[in-house]
């Protein structure tokens, strides 16, 4: 059958139906170009109009100041784990990492190869369920930047406010892969924001970097040309062949988010969805449990366990039968995880909580 499911995957993830329909209508021939976006020259006027509109709409959505560059890159957020230290510091420079989950940890481990990276706080001993109070953090005043992962996709821990970098350069760097464009963000508080597109804003293959312009142009000499932000900033993300179709899809999503009223409206919707899901978990008398401290629970990724872990496989199987898929937790933590990105409709979360209540009634 052709029926769509409610896809709770962590990424690649659900996309807005309207965006998929629009892409469907243009996949064979885009406007009056006589060809698909996949067949276009990346230097032709048609694609230039697509990438310029995508950037312009993203700038509007996040209110990105003019002294920031927006780069559409490849290699996933994982490539940025290396590109960031390669561009922002020299091999002997100290940098600070605040590690609130396994993505922050991966970023730290990669950075160690290219600079003197130091973990100033780690939530590992609490199984990554917390974010520390910012006052208690001991930051290195000589650090070139402070790195955070704004939303830990696996552990469901999300920053609700951001630490002030106490390093001399005042640079805060954030991995926003899994909460990018899910709420308004004051970009001017960051030196650099990066995100893989495949959770909230498009298909995999596009990585977005928003970087303050004065941080560009100081890459370490060994930096590969493709990892040097200057290469891409100087060439409007067209130094080599970019992921054209993915950028086009991101553009459709940005347009769609603007149509919805921008990120404040999007955030409101996300808060409502998260609230009914967390309330169901917390109101289950322990049948379901979310280990994350309440004040830092993610609006995007909701991990939970069943008191009776022997029922987990059945839960996942029955949910899938009812067209709710990809609810299995990450292989490193087990349990369940419902990713409820921007494109997950309220109806999808309502259906999930109804199922959860019914499942509990049958197994309590
Ligand atoms: N950071 C976060 C927060 C992520 O969720 C992911 C992917 N799940 C990554 C980084 C790695 O991204 P990519 O697969 O695009 O390299």
Q: Is the CB of 13 under 6 A from ligand 1?
A: no
CA distance 175 to 132: 17
Check if 175 is active-site: yes
- Active-site residue, selected from the candidate residues 30, 57, 96, 103: 103
Every domain of the chain and the residues it spans: 18-259, 262-363
18-259 and 262-363, same CATH topology: no
Paired tokens of 116: 């003197």
Minimal-distance CA residue to ligand 1 atom 15: 76
Q: Which of 81, 153, 207, 298 to mutate to test the pocket of ligand 1 (most atoms within 8 A of CB)?
A: 153
Below-50 pLDDT ranges, the chain: none
Distance between Cα 11 and ligand 1 center (Å): 8
Check if 130 is active-site: no
Q: Is the CB of 80 under 6 A from ligand 1?
A: no
Distance between Cα 105 and ligand 1 center (Å): 12
pTM equals: 0.98
Q: Which of 13, 83, 196, 300 to mutate to test the pocket of ligand 1 (most atoms within 8 A of CB)?
A: 196
Distance between Cα 157 and ligand 1 center (Å): 14
CATH classification (class only), 262-363: alpha beta
Minimal-distance CA residue to ligand 1 atom 14: 76
For the chain, what is the HEC assignment? CCCCCEECCCCCCCCCHHHHHHHHHHCCCCCCCCCCHHHCCCCCHHHHHHHHHHHHHHHHHHCCCCCEEEEEECCHHHHHHHHHHHHHCCCCCEEEEEECCHHHHHHHHHHCCCCEEEEEEECHHHCCCCCCCHHHCCCCCCCCCEEEECEECCCCEECCCCCCCCCCCCCEEEECCCCCCCCCCCHHHCCEEEEECCCCCCCCCCEEEEEEHHHCCCCCCCCCHHHCHHHHHHCCCCCCCCCHHHHHHHHHHHHHHHHCCCHHHHHHHHHHHHHHHHHHHHCCCCCEECCCCHHHECCCEEEEEECCHHHHHHHHHHHHHCCEECCECCCCCCCEEEECCCCCCHHHHHHHHHHHHHHHHHHC
Between the alpha carbon of residue 234 and those of residues 49, 70, 250, the distances in Å are 18, 11, 21
Q: Is the CB of 103 under 6 A from ligand 1?
A: yes
Fold of 18-259: 3.40.640
Check if 186 is active-site: no
Instruction: Give the residue among 105, 106, 111 at the shortest CA–CA distance from 123.
Output: 105
């Amino acid at each position: 059958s052709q029926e769509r499911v409610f896809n709770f995957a962590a990424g690649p993830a659900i996309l807005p139906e309207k965006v998929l329909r629009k892409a469907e209508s243009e996949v064979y021939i885009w406007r009056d170009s006589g060809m698909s976006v996949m067949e276009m020259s990346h230097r032709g006027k048609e694609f230039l109009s697509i990438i310029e509109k995508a950037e312009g709409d993203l700038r509007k959505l996040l209110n990105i100041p003019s002294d920031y560059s927006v780069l559409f890159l490849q290699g996933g957020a994982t490539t940025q784990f290396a590109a960031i230290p390669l561009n922002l510091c020299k091999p002997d420079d100290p940098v600070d990492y605040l590690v609130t989950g396994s993505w922050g940890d991966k970023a730290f481990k990669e950075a160690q190869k290219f600079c003197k990276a130091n973990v100033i706080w780690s939530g590992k001993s609490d199984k990554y369920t917390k974010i520390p109070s910012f006052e208690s953090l001991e930051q290195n005043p000589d650090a070139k930047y402070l790195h955070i992962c704004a939303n830990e996709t696996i552990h469901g821990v999300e920053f609700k406010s951001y630490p002030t970098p106490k390093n001399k350069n005042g640079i805060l760097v954030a991995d926003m892969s899994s909460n990018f464009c899910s709420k308004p963000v004051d970009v001017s508080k960051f030196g650099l924001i990066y995100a893989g597109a495949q959770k909230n804003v498009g298909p995999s293959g596009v990585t977005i970097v928003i970087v303050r312009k004065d941080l560009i142009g100081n890459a370490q000499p060994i930096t590969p040309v493709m990892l040097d932000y200057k290469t891409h900033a100087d060439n409007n993300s067209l130094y080599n062949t970019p992921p054209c179709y993915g950028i086009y899809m991101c553009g459709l999503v940005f347009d769609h988010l603007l149509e919805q009223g921008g990120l404040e409206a999007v955030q409101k919707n996300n808060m409502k969805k998260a609230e009914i899901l967390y309330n169901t978990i917390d109101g289950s008398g322990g049948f379901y449990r979310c280990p994350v401290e309440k004040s830092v629970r993610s609006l995007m990724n909701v991990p939970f366990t069943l008191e009776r872990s022997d029922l987990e496989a059945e839960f996942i199987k029955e949910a899938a039968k009812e067209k709710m898929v990809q609810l299995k937790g990450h292989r490193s933590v087990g349990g369940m995880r419902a990713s409820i990105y921007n494109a997950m409709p309220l109806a999808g979360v309502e259906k999930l909580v109804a199922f959860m209540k019914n499942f509990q009634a049958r197994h309590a």
